[in-house]
C-alpha cells in the first residue's frame, strides 16, 4: 500500500486528518515516510540544501561557539554533553568534532549524544563519525536526561509537523486533509485541536480574513522537554523562522509551508499534497512563541539573530579572508558567501541562543548584537 492509499484509507475510516497528522505520516511514517527510507535527503543528489551541505566550514564555526561555552557550563569540566537533536547521519557533528580535535582538552571532554528520529539516518552515523567513535555517548530517537553542556539543532523545529489554519468570514478554521476518490484533498473544519486557538490568543495576533498560517505546537512541546532535560548549559537552535507579527499579522499571506523535491520548491498544495512521502515539507518557525515558551520554562534568551550575523561573530569573514588562493581557497570563500548570503541561507535561517544556570555571558556568536531582519 502506498502512503497516499494509506492516508486516503485513514480519512475514509476515521474522518479527515489534521494537517499535522498528514505531515507526520508524510515525513515520518515508520516505513514510507520521506525521512524514514534514506540516511540523507539533502545535498546535491537530494531535494534541498542545509548549511551542512555547503561544506565543513559551518561545523567549524559552530565549534568556535561550543568551545567558548564549554568552560561556562562547569568550569572546563572533563565532561561536556554535546547533544545534537535532528542529527541526521551525523555530518554536522563530524564537522564540529573535526574542528574541536584541534583543542585537545575541549575535545576530550565532549560526550556526544545524537538524537535522530530516522532509524536509517541513525544507522549511518557510525560510518560518518568513524574518526570520533569513542566520543559518542549515545544515539537514539529521544533527548537524553540530565544534560550538562549544550543542546543544539540545525533545521529541526522547521521539520516538525504543523497545524494549518485560515481565517474565514465565519471565523478561524483548521485545514484538514481528506479523501476525494483515491486522492488527498484539503478540507476546512472547525478548530478542534487543543491549544491551537489559545496559541494565537496568547500572541495577541489576528489572522486577516483570507490568510493562512501554520502553528507548530510540537516545537513548543519539544522545547519544554529540552528545557527540563538541560540541567545546566545552553540551547542553540538554527531554523527557518520569523517573528510572529510577520507570520500571522500581514494580510494576504498564504503561510510558509514549502515542499521540496529534487531542488524544486512548491508552495501550492496541488503540486505535492497528493504525493505524500515524495516531498520534504517545512515551515518557518514562530520565533516569538519559541522565545516566550523557553523563558516560561527556565531558559534565558541570550541572542536572536540572522545566521549571517551569528557566523560573522564567530569569524566567518576571517576564514574567508585567510582561505588562500587556488581552487581550495575559492571553494572555501564561496562556502562562506553561501552561508552568509542575505535573502538566502544567511537571512532566512535564524539563530536562537538560550542559557540555563550560566548567567548572561556575552557570547561570540552574539557579538554583532540582536539582529533579526
The residue within the footprint of ligand SAM, chosen from 7, 8, 64, 85 (CB under 6 A), is 85
Query: In the set 17, 121, 217, 294, which binds ligand SAM (CB under 6 A)?
Result: 121
93, 114 contact by CB (below 8 A): yes
User: Is residue 116 within the footprint of ligand SAM (CB under 6 A)?
Assistant: yes
Contact 178, 11 (CB under 8 A): yes
Q: Confirm or reject binding of residue 81 to ligand SAM (CB under 6 A).
A: no
- Judged by beta carbon, residue 32 or residue 159, the one nearer ligand SAM is 159
Of the candidate residues 56, 59, 86, 346, the single one contacting ligand SAM (CB under 6 A)? 86
The b/e string for 213-237 (b: 16+ C-beta within 10 A; e otherwise) is bbbbbbbbebbeebbebbebbbbbb
What is the closest distance, in whole angstroms, from the C-beta atom of residue 50 to ligand SAM in the complex? 4
Cα separation of 226 and 128, whole Å?
Answer: 26
**Site for ligand SAM, residues 18 to 37, rule: CB under 6 A:** 35
Cross-strand pairs, 250: none
Q: Which is nearer to ligand SAM, 42 or 307 (CB)?
A: 42
Q: Does residue 241 touch ligand SAM according to CB under 6 A?
A: no
List 96, 114, 150, 156, residue binding ligand SAM (CB under 6 A): 156
Of 337, 350, 308, nearest in space to 54 by CA: 337
E strands in the chain: 17-18, 80-85, 110-115, 136-140, 147-154, 163-168, 171-180, 183-190, 212-215, 230-242, 258-261, 264-266, 280-282, 285-286, 300-306, 349-356
Site string for ligand SAM, 33-62 (x = CB under 6 A): --x------x-------x-x----------
Nearest distance from C-beta of residue 39 to ligand SAM, angstroms: 9
All three cell numbers of 75:
568550569
* Smallest separation (angstroms) from ligand SAM to the CB of 117: 4
- The verdict on 155 binding ligand SAM (CB under 6 A) reads yes
Q: Can residue 159 be called a binding residue for ligand SAM (CB under 6 A)? A: yes
Identify which of residues 8 and 52 has a Cβ nearer to ligand SAM in the complex: 52
Among 125, 60, 57, which residue's Cα sits nearest to residue 90?
Answer: 125
**DSSP letter for each residue of 82-103:** EEEET-TTSHHHHHHHHHHTTS
Piece of 155-163, 247-255, 265-273, 360-368 that binds ligand SAM (CB under 6 A): 155-163
Shortest distance (Å) from residue 115 CB to ligand SAM: 5
The terminus-to-terminus CA distance of the chain in angstroms comes to 45
How big is the site for ligand SAM, counted in residues (CB under 6 A)? 17
Where do contacts with ligand SAM occur on this chain (CB under 6 A)? 35, 42, 50, 52, 85-86, 88, 92, 115-118, 121, 154-156, 159
Amino acid at each position: 500500500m502506498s502512503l497516499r492509499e494509506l492516508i486516503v484509507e485513514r480519512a475514509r475510516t476515521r474522518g479527515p486528518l489534521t494537517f499535522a497528522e498528514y505531515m507526520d505520516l508524510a515525513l515520518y511514517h515508520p516505513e514510507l515516510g520521506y525521512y524514514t527510507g534514506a540516511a540523507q535527503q539533502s545535498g546535491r543528489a537530494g531535494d534541498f540544501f542545509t548549511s551542512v551541505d555547503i561544506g565543513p566550514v559551518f561545523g567549524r564555526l559552530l565549534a568556535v561557539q561550543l568551545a567558548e561555552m564549554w568552560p561556562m557550563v562547569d568550569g572546563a569540566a572533563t565532561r561536556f554533553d554535546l547533544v545534537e537533536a535532528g542529527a541526521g547521519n551525523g555530518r554536522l557533528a563530524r564537522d564540529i568534532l573535526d574542528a574541536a580535535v584541534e583543542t585537545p582538552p575541549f575535545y576530550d571532554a565532549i560526550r556526544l549524544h545524537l538524537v535522530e528520529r530516522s532509524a536509517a539516518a541513525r544507522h549511518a552515523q557510525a560510518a560518518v563519525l568513524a574518526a570520533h567513535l569513542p566520543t559518542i555517548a549515545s544515539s537514539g530517537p529521544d533527548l537524553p536526561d540530565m544534560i550538562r553542556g549544550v543542546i543544539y539543532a540545525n533545521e529541526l523545529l522547521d521539520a516538525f509537523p504543523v497545524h494549518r489554519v485560515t481565517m474565514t468570514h465565519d471565523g478561524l478554521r483548521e485545514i484538514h486533509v481528506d479523501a476525494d476518490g483515491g486522492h488527498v484533498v484539503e478540507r476546512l473544519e472547525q478548530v478542534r485541536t487543543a491549544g491551537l486557538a489559545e496559541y494565537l490568543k496568547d500572541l495577541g495576533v489576528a489572522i486577516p480574513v483570507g490568510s493562512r498560517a501554520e502553528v507548530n505546537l510540537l516545537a513548543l512541546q519539544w522545547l519544554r522537554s529540552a528545557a527540563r532535560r538541560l540541567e545546566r548549559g545552553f540551547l542553540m537552535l538554527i531554523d527557518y523562522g520569523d517573528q510572529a507579527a510577520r507570520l500571522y499579522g500581514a494580510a494576504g499571506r498564504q503561510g510558509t509551508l514549502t515542499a521540496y523535491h529534487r531542488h524544486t520548491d512548491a508552495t501550492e498544495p496541488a503540486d505535492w499534497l497528493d504525493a505524500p512521502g515524495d516531498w520534504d515539507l517545512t515551515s518557518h518557525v514562530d520565533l516569538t512563541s519559541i522565545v516566550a515558551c523557553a523563558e516560561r520554562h527556565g531558559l534565558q534568551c541570550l541572542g536572536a539573530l540572522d545566521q549571517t550575523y551569528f557566523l560573522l561573530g564567530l569569524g566567518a569573514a576571517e576564514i574567508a579572508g585567510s582561505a588562500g588562493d587556488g581552487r581550495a581557497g575559492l571553494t572555501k570563500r564561496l562556502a562562506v558567501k553561501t552561508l552568509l548570503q542575505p535573502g538566502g541561507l544567511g537571512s532566512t535561517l535564524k539563530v536562537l541562543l538560550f542559557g540555563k544556570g550560566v548567567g548572561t555571558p556575552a557570547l561570540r556568536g552574539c557579538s554583532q548584537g540582536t539582529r533579526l531582519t
